[in-house]
Structure 1
Amino acid sequence: MVLVHGYLAGGFAAKDKCITKPEDMPGLQTRAAGKAFEQMLAGAGASIASMASSEVYNAMQSGVLDAVNTSSSSFVSYRIYEQVACYTPAGEYALWFMYQPLLMNKAKFDSLTEEQQKALLAASEKAQAFYLEEAKKEDAVSAEVFRENGVEIAEMSAADFDAWRTLAKETSYKAFVEETPNGQQLLDLALSVE
């Protein structure tokens, strides 16, 4: 069972230009964080290079990559700011989120006393609020680190976000529905989350 729902956000960084909308992607050799993002970015005209986050710095330094999509924390911890001209952090609008819940075995939870279950659920509620607050701080800190290192900061607009979502419907959403049992039902549930 899920005790704490947690999400880490991410954004884009590129060597030579800012990325805020699909029209910014054609011709870029890009590392995306996950299959669905690879499908969407390829649909926008990018070439995809699959690699671990730990390999991005060297790939950008050697010219193998022009752009990257990853988490705010990875951008900072791997010092990607040393290799790029522009960073589009998670802000008011963000496309990329990594779900990182805190899980507990349901049978073990059920074996706890009612008092223990209530205490655990109350603590989980506090932990979830803390997680969200800290994740937002991480996004803000990443933008500040890039800014301090002379990297231009770009902001995604509502229109940019809508353009990405339109592209996703034609690419990654479509593939998910076709490849996944009950795919449309699951996609509808995911999209219903505010």
Structure 2
Amino acid sequence: MTNLHFPTLGRSLVAATLCFGLGATMASAETWRMATKQPSDSPEGIIYDFFAERVAELSGGDLTVDVYPNEQLGREDSILEQLELGTVNIYVEDSFFLQKWVPEIKWVAPHFLFQSREDWVEFTRSDLVQGWFETAEEVAGVRALGEPMAMVRGPYRVLISKEPVESYEDISNVELRMYPDELAIDVWQHLGADLQMLAWTETYQALQSGVVNAATSPAALVEAMKFYEQAPYITRTNEFWQGLPFMMNAAAFDALPEKDQQALLTAHEEAGAYSAELMAENAAGMQALLEERGVTFTDMPLEPLFETMADWYRERDAAGELPEGLLEAAIPSEG
């Protein structure tokens, strides 16, 4: 009689073993892959590593984030495909890359429309811009982690030139290195600059040879790129503001336990605060260091420049050349 129950008992033991093994697998730590363009020793790379460390700590080790800097997992087009598929869980870069799915997001950082970062961030929280992010999720299953613009890049924009730029009228004397962005080209041509289309890596030599006499840059990259060696005048312009959304595979996030979701959200919020502090320190340190090297920092009155550009945007809006509602979202008094 006992022998008749051996097969049943055996099956029960096998099932119990499989369930135990499955439970152990489900309980093991999950690893997310995070792709970035910047080197790990850059200011941005330091912040990404901080984020990963905090996720591990806050999740109690149940969720880890492996950071892949320097495009180790592929260039942008490849990363976007992997992000959709979920083989890459997070991609951190300027939101312009979302144009693959949301063409209107090219307007997320209009040139010379916001004098302060705070005003710009408020614009990115508008229904208009949030709708663009929602479209990215609907089309590609890609969602921003937390506040999209919490991570600071820049922290502000400057104009590096061979001659001082003391008012926006001086821009008409500038031969400016430019990149292939339609809005940037339109804006700088409107201001009277002569543009030369050049790769970022060609800019130093172009300044040296006289092909151009000026270039725009985030303040954080001025020292590293050494453009100041050929163009010793730096003018803060606040041309546009930059944030770095942590864009993630939405399905992967939704599948996580609530505590691990919260670990990601909290770590991201802390990384955003850290980025603001670190970028401000770097910008201040950069200015002090370069002034010791003979670089002149020019204070250009910005109010006339921004008033001129506000009129330009109004003209484009009246001509139907802006996304509907953009000017109202950017300048509430226009509504």
The 8 Å contact of residues 95 and 161 in structure 1, kept in 2 or not, is answered as: no
Alpha-carbon contact 2:220-2:279 (below 8 Å) kept: no
Secondary structure of 2:163's counterpart equals coil
Change (3 A) 1:55 1:172: farther
Match of 1:70 in 2: 217
1:40 and 2:187 correspond: yes
Asked whether the equivalents of residues 168 and 305 of structure 2 are also in contact (C-alpha less than 8 Å), the reply is yes
Amino acid paired to 2:209:
S
Cα deviation 1:87-110 (Å, max 9, x = unaligned): 1247xxx22323322221122111
Q: Secondary structure at the match of 1:131?
A: helix
- Tell me if 1:168 matches 2:296: no
Equivalenced residue count is 183
Give the Cα separation in 2 of the matches to 1:68 and 1:140.
20
Whose Rg is larger? 2
Cα RMSD between the aligned structures? Answer: 2.5
**Which residue number in structure 2 is paired with residue 113 of structure 1?**
257
Show the counterpart of 1:134: 278
1: CA distance, partners of 2:193 / 2:204 = 19
Residues 1:137 and 1:39: Cα distance change in structure 2 (over 3 Å): farther
Structure-2 change in CA distance of 1:44 and 1:149 (3 Å): same
What residue is the counterpart of 2:144 in the other structure? Answer: 2
Equivalent of residue 87 in structure 1, options 218, 234, 237: 234
Deviation at 1:132, TM superposition (A): 1.3
**1:65-104 Cα distance to aligned partner (Å, 9 max, x none):** 11111112332111011111311247xxx22323322221
Are 2:176 and 1:30 aligned? yes
Q: List gaps (5 residues or longer) in structure 1.
A: none
Calculate percent identity across the aligned residue pairs.
25
Q: Mark the CA change 1:187 to 1:146 in structure 2 (over 3 Å): closer, same or farther.
A: farther
Cα offset for 1:175?
A: 4.9
Q: Specify whether residues 16 and 168 from structure 1 end up closer, same or farther in structure 2 by C-alpha distance, changes over 3 A only.
A: same
CA distance in 2, matches of 1:124, 1:189: 26
- Of the two structures, which has the highest relative contact order with CA contacts closer than 8 Å and spacing of 6 or more? 1
AA matched with 1:185: G
1:98-151 CA distances to partner (integer Å, 9 max, x unpaired)?
332222112211111111111211111101101111222232233223212201
User: Which residue pairs with 1:145 in the alignment?
Assistant: 289
Q: TM-score w.r.t. structure 1 length?
A: 0.80
Q: Indicate if the aligned counterparts of 2:161 and 2:231 stay in contact, CA closer than 8 A.
A: yes
Q: Does 1:186 align with 2:326?
A: yes
Q: Is the 8 A contact 1:53 1:74 kept in 2?
A: no
Q: Is the 8 A contact 1:16 1:86 kept in 2?
A: yes
Aligned-partner residue type, residue 56 of structure 1: T
2:184, 2:314 → 1: CA distance? 10
Question: Is residue 12 from structure 1 mapped to residue 159 from structure 2 by the alignment?
Answer: yes
- Residue 190 (structure 1) shift: 4.7
Answer yes or no: is the 8 Å Cα contact 1:13–1:87 preserved in 2: yes
Q: CA deviation at 1:184?
A: 3.8
- In 1, are the aligned partners of 2:196 and 2:212 still within 8 Å (CA)? yes
Whether the 8 Å contact between 1:10 and 1:69 is mirrored in structure 2 is yes
Deviates more, 1:33-42 or 1:58-67: 33-42
Structure 1 residue 101 corresponds to structure 2 residue 221: no
State the one-letter code of the partner of 2:228. Answer: Y
The gaps in structure 2 that reach 5 residues or longer are 1-142
Q: Secondary structure at the match of 2:187?
A: helix
| 1:172, distance to aligned residue in structure 2 (A) | 5.9
Judged with a 3 Å threshold, the aligned counterparts in structure 2 of structure 1 residues 14 and 21 are, in CA distance, closer, same or farther, namely: same
Normalising by structure 2, what TM-score? 0.49
Q: Separation in 1 of the partners of 2:280 and 2:159? A: 16
| Counterpart secondary structure, 1:135 | helix
Q: Distance in 1 between matches of 2:167 and 2:286?
A: 20
